[in-house]
């Protein structure tokens, strides 16, 4: 009995020693949802804008008059220092684990994001699947300060846009983990999503005070060389990039009509598989890109009769041609202008020729812009939708099963 009492006493005392040391009450925490990172050009300090949720504004019992999100801007020599300084002017302790989005300004990205990536990757709070985007045309904090959506929390608005990017072929915004994996840059270089601000005219029914509002918009993609931003891809170039490397994306692809000017056929890309094959012959490096597309017709603006098999087959070739053109345009931009291997050509080469890779590894940066790439696209249109004939041409065309 005495022993048991002693044991209980020891356990109780132990509780006093260690208990609750890392416990945080929810109403003492500031849940940071998004962080914008800018640079002060004069002093060279990092400016951090934290977007913090104000839960009481969402509370049903006692909704306070304040807005749902509060922005706190702090500066410091490093990102960590600046984030830590938040509590100097804000009454809640930082909770980093729910950060949805990091917005990096263009200047910061051009100077290199190594320190930021290190901070995020080293932290055991921040999720690796958070979004990592670059601000184009405006500062990062301006991007973070625009909410054009329904969600009251701005970062949710941005992260929802990023989540739905796969419904568009011409944007690419990989998550932070993807960026982190590619950042060493020896076999592949990273790409980040790009946000810009566009103006939107409000309509009276929206009952908004301003006639013009700002909204955030995904614009193409940002190409990095190691940790430094080297340039932006526009929409069509990003589409080519997606065809080569990212098969998650689906979406509408337009091809100009051969029959009428300013008319288009819309194809919905359902699936594509891309195979990059390197060849190393006589110390000469070349690549084959084979793209296999599966798509369906969703809109025919001209008088094409897609139920005509010949026309249908021709359409397959036309789609392939245009996709090929897109990819080639992207390749020339990446090879000639950006000169960064964001397509993973180095990795493909390494997987096929690991011994040879050791030799060319150090010159890869110089070799990459010079390699020859041949593109082959094979399209398989699967569906024509519920309509077979063009609506205005039903009577003129007969069904031809040739």
Cα–Cα distance for residue pair 314/205, rounded to 1 Å? 46
Token pair 């940790």 is at which residue? 227
Cα–Cα distance for residue pair 188/170, rounded to 1 Å? 20
Q: Which of 98, 128, 226, 361 binds other proteins (CB under 8 A)?
A: 98
Instruction: Candidates 79-87, 94-102, 179-187, 209-217: pick the segment binding other proteins (CB under 8 A).
Output: 94-102
Cα–Cα distance for residue pair 138/257, rounded to 1 Å? 37
Binding mask 152-181 for other proteins (x = CB under 8 A): -x--x-------------------------
Instruction: Candidates 57-65, 348-356, 373-381, 384-392: pick the segment binding other proteins (CB under 8 A).
Output: 57-65
Determine, following the binding rule CB under 8 A, whether residue 35 of this chain makes contact with other proteins.
Answer: no
The phi and psi torsions of 87 (rounded to 5 degrees) equal -70, -10
Size of the site for other proteins (CB under 8 A): 30
Name the residue nearer to other proteins (CB basis): 32 or 109. Answer: 32
Name the residue nearer to other proteins (CB basis): 20 or 199. Answer: 20
Name the residue nearer to other proteins (CB basis): 98 or 361. Answer: 98
Q: Which of 2, 41, 42, 62 binds other proteins (CB under 8 A)?
A: 62
Q: Which of 6, 10, 15, 396 binds other proteins (CB under 8 A)?
A: 15
CA atoms 292, 298, 304, 308: torsion sign: positive
Residue 38 Cβ, how far from other proteins at the closest point, in Å? 24
Determine, following the binding rule CB under 8 A, whether residue 19 of this chain makes contact with other proteins.
Answer: yes
Instruction: Candidates 15-23, 42-50, 307-315, 336-344: pick the segment binding other proteins (CB under 8 A).
Output: 15-23
Determine, following the binding rule CB under 8 A, whether residue 65 of this chain makes contact with other proteins.
Answer: no
Name the residue nearer to other proteins (CB basis): 131 or 318. Answer: 131
SS (H, E, C) the chain: CHHHHHHHHHHHHHHHHHCCCCCCCHHHEEEEEEEEEEECCCCCCEEEEEEEECHHHCCCCCCCCCCCEEEEEEEECCHHHHHHCHHHHCCCEEEHHHCCEEEECHHHHHHCCHHHHHHHHHCCCCCCCCEEEEECCCCHHHHHCCCCCCCCCHHHHHHHHHHHHHHCCCCCCCEHHHHHHHCCCCCCCCEEEEEEEEEEECCHHHCCCCCEEEEEEEEEEEEEECCEEEEEECHHHHHHHHHHHCCCCCEEEEEECCCCCCCEEEEEEEEEEEEEEEEEECCEEEEEEEEEEEEEEEEECCCCCCCCHHHHHHHHHHHHHHHHHHHHHHHHHHHHHHCCCCCCHHHHHHHHCHHHHHHHHHHHHHHHHHCEEEEEEEEEEEECCCCCCCHHHCCCCCCCCC
Cα–Cα distance for residue pair 179/177, rounded to 1 Å? 5
Q: Which of 45, 56, 301, 303 binds other proteins (CB under 8 A)?
A: 56
Name the residue nearer to other proteins (CB basis): 53 or 135. Answer: 53
Determine, following the binding rule CB under 8 A, whether residue 55 of this chain makes contact with other proteins.
Answer: yes
Determine, following the binding rule CB under 8 A, whether residue 149 of this chain makes contact with other proteins.
Answer: no
Residue 63 Cβ, how far from other proteins at the closest point, in Å? 9
Binding mask 125-144 for other proteins (x = CB under 8 A): x-x-----------------
Q: Which of 4, 13, 20, 150 binds other proteins (CB under 8 A)?
A: 20
Determine, following the binding rule CB under 8 A, whether residue 23 of this chain makes contact with other proteins.
Answer: yes
Determine, following the binding rule CB under 8 A, whether residue 400 of this chain makes contact with other proteins.
Answer: no
Q: Which of 26, 150, 203, 391 binds other proteins (CB under 8 A)?
A: 26
Name the residue nearer to other proteins (CB basis): 54 or 105. Answer: 54
By CB atoms closer than 10 A (0-12, 13-18, 19+), residue 226 is middle
Q: Which of 29, 85, 255, 303 binds other proteins (CB under 8 A)?
A: 29
Q: Which of 100, 136, 225, 333 binds other proteins (CB under 8 A)?
A: 100
Determine, following the binding rule CB under 8 A, whether residue 59 of this chain makes contact with other proteins.
Answer: yes
Binding site for other proteins (CB under 8 A): 15, 18-20, 22-27, 29, 31, 33, 53, 55-62, 95, 97-98, 100, 125, 127, 153, 156
């Amino acid at each position: 009995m005495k022993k048991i009492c002693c044991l209980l006493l020891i356990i109780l005392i132990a509780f006093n020693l260690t208990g609750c040391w890392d416990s945080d009450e929810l109403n003492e925490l500031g849940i940071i949802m998004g962080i914008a990172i800018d640079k002060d050009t004069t002093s060279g300090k990092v400016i951090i804008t934290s977007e913090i949720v104000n839960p009481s504004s969402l509370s049903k019992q006692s909704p306070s008059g304040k807005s749902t999100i509060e922005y706190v801007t702090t500066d410091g020599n490093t990102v960590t220092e600046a984030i830590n300084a938040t509590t100097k002017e804000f009454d809640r302790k930082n909770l980093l684990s729910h950060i949805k989005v990091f917005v990096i300004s263009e200047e910061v990205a051009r100077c290199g994001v190594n320190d930021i990536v290190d901070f995020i990757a080293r932290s055991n709070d921040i999720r690796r699947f958070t979004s990592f985007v670059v601000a184009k045309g405006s500062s990062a904090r301006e991007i973070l300060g625009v909410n054009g959506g329904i969600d009251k929390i701005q970062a949710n608005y941005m992260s929802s846009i990023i989540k739905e990017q796969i419904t568009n072929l011409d944007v690419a915004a990989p998550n932070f983990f993807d960026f982190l994996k590619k950042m060493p840059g020896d076999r592949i270089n990273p790409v980040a999503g790009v946000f810009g601000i566009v103006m939107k005219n409000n309509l009276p029914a929206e009952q908004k005070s301003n006639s013009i509002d700002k909204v955030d918009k995904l614009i193409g993609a940002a190409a990095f060389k190691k940790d430094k931003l080297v340039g932006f891809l526009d929409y069509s170039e990003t589409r080519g990039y997606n065809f080569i490397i990212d098969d998650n994306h689906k979406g509408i692809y337009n091809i100009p009509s051969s029959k009428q000017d300013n008319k288009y056929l819309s194809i919905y890309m359902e699936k594509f598989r891309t195979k990059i094959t390197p060849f190393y012959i006589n110390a000469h490096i070349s690549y084959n890109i084979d793209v296999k597309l599966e798509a369906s017709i969703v809109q025919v603006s001209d008088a094409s009769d897609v139920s005509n098999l010949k026309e249908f087959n021709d359409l397959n070739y036309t789609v392939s041609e245009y996709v090929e053109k897109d990819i080639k345009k992207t390749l020339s931009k990446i090879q000639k202008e950006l000169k960064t291997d964001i397509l993973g050509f180095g990795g493909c080469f390494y997987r096929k020729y690991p011994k040879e890779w050791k030799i060319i590894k150090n010159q890869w940066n110089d070799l990459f812009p010079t390699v020859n790439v041949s593109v082959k696209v094979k399209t398989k249109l699967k569906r024509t939708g519920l309509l077979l004939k063009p609506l205005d041409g039903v009577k003129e065309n007969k069904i031809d099963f040739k």
